[in-house]
């Protein structure tokens, strides 16, 4: 069974369909929507922006936007009021916007 699973590797430039002058290659059929150039640039920008925040702001932004927590959940976890979370979140977002306009 293991030996049947072994296949020779193929090139990404290997044609899988050819009709006249039109060819479709293996590379044309592979799509990576998680690692696009645009997404990499966005991730670098976000990473750099997060470095400019203080620890409390980083915690709030991370919990809110990367872990999907509500302001109330974040407030309970870090021991401040929901209003303070809202104010700090808004302030952090405004600072990030100013840095990257």
* Each residue's pLDDT tens digit, 32-85: 777 777 788 888 888 899 999 999 999 999 999 999 999 999 999 999 999 999
Q: Which residues of 22-46 are buried (b: 16+ CB within 10 A; e: fewer)?
A: eeeeeeeeeeeeeeeeeeeeeeeee
* Each residue's pLDDT tens digit, 13-37: 888 888 777 888 888 777 777 777 7
pTM above 0.95, yes or no: no
**Under CATH, what is the fold of the domain 52-99?**
Arc Repressor Mutant, subunit A (1.10.10)
Domain spans in the chain, listed from the N-terminal domain onward: 52-99
């Amino acid at each position: 069974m293991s030996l049947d699973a072994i296949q020779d590797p193929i090139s990404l430039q290997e044609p899988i369909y050819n009709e006249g002058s039109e060819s479709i290659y293996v590379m044309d059929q592979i799509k990576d929507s998680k690692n696009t150039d645009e997404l990499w640039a966005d991730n670098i920008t976000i990473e750099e922006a997060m470095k400019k925040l203080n620890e409390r702001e980083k915690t709030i932004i991370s919990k809110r936007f990367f872990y999907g927590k509500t302001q109330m959940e974040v407030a309970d976890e870090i021991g401040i009021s929901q209003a303070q979370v809202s104010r700090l979140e808004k302030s952090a977002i405004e600072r990030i916007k100013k840095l990257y306009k």
